[in-house]
Structure 1
Amino acid sequence: MMTSIDPSLLISNKHSTTSTGNSSLGKDEFLKILMSQLQNQDPLNPMEDKEFIAQMAQFSTLEQTTNMSTMLEKFIKTQTQSDSILKYSEMIGKQVEWKATEETGNGIVKSIKQSDTGIILELDNGEEITNDSITKISKAE
């Protein structure tokens, strides 16, 4: 009994793309290389089971490492954002002086919020300033 490979899976039927920049191999590239090895192996001297199992183990390790890296990046981003808002929450009720370009002012911090650009402090007079424009912090009078 002879089984054949679906022609749509053959590498020769895939459009080749050239990319520049990232030289690291991902799991998609690893699978393509593995499929190419299987398609082009010598039928009289096929790949050893041990080699195939070792490559599958490498693929599994690569996938787990990639997933762990992605989750770690998400965790670090979450921690950084929550740490920032907690750190600046101590400023609620404090008198601040600020300077942004040519404008200056002061006020008491009423609330803190997180935005895409960073931490925004809302003052009691309705003004909103960024955390990097603060020049002085003192007790509210």
Structure 2
Amino acid sequence: MEVNTNYSFSNVYNTSETTSNDQLGKDDFLQLLVVQLENQDPLDPMDDKELIAQLAQFSILEQMQNLNVSFNAVRAINLIGKNVYATITDDNGNSTSVVGNVDAVYKQNGEYYLEVNGIDVPLDAVTAVSE
């Protein structure tokens, strides 16, 4: 019996959501797992222990990402009232230094921003903090 080994992985890259920093996220991991299951050899399917291990890895990845979001929220909220130093870059590539007290924190499109002297500063742009 002849087994078809011509796999198509084009669906893996057609994701509408991208992750930051060009890293694989939980959606990418799940899509890879689904493609692997769709294209496995029917005469030699994936071992159930392998599948359970991969699902456990997926669950761990998801929980780690949830913790990261929570840590960023706590980090941003803890900066309220503190003096921060930040360097922000505009769309033209020009850098601007921002120094001042954090008046407010908000979240937009999954990213936390600090309001410093009326300027919106991404949390990741903060380079130093003082009391």
1:38-69 CA-partner distances (Å, limit 9, x unpaired):
xxxxxxxxxxxxxxxxx7xx632122112111
Question: Paired residues, what number?
Answer: 102
Instruction: Measure the CA separation in 2 of the matches of 1:30 and 1:102.
Output: 50
* Closer/same/farther in 2, CA of residues 11 and 127 from structure 1, 3 Å limit: farther
* Closer/same/farther in 2, CA of residues 26 and 138 from structure 1, 3 Å limit: same
Q: Which has the higher contact order (CA 8 A, sep 6+)?
A: 2
Q: Give unmatched runs, 5+ long, in structure 1.
A: 1-9, 35-54
Q: Give unmatched runs, 5+ long, in structure 2.
A: 10-32, 89-93
* Closer/same/farther in 2, CA of residues 102 and 127 from structure 1, 3 Å limit: same
Which structure features the higher share of helix residues?
Answer: 1
Q: Kindly, what percent of the aligned residue pairs are identical? A: 15
TM-score (norm 1): 0.53
1:10-39 CA-partner distances (Å, limit 9, x unpaired):
977x7x52458xxx99444445233xxxxx
Alpha-carbon offset, residue 129 of structure 1: 0.7
Alpha-carbon offset, residue 96 of structure 1: 2.0
What is the match of residue 127 of structure 1? 119
Which structure features the higher share of strand residues?
Answer: 2
TM-score (norm 2): 0.56
Alpha-carbon offset, residue 80 of structure 1: 1.3
Alpha-carbon offset, residue 92 of structure 1: 0.6
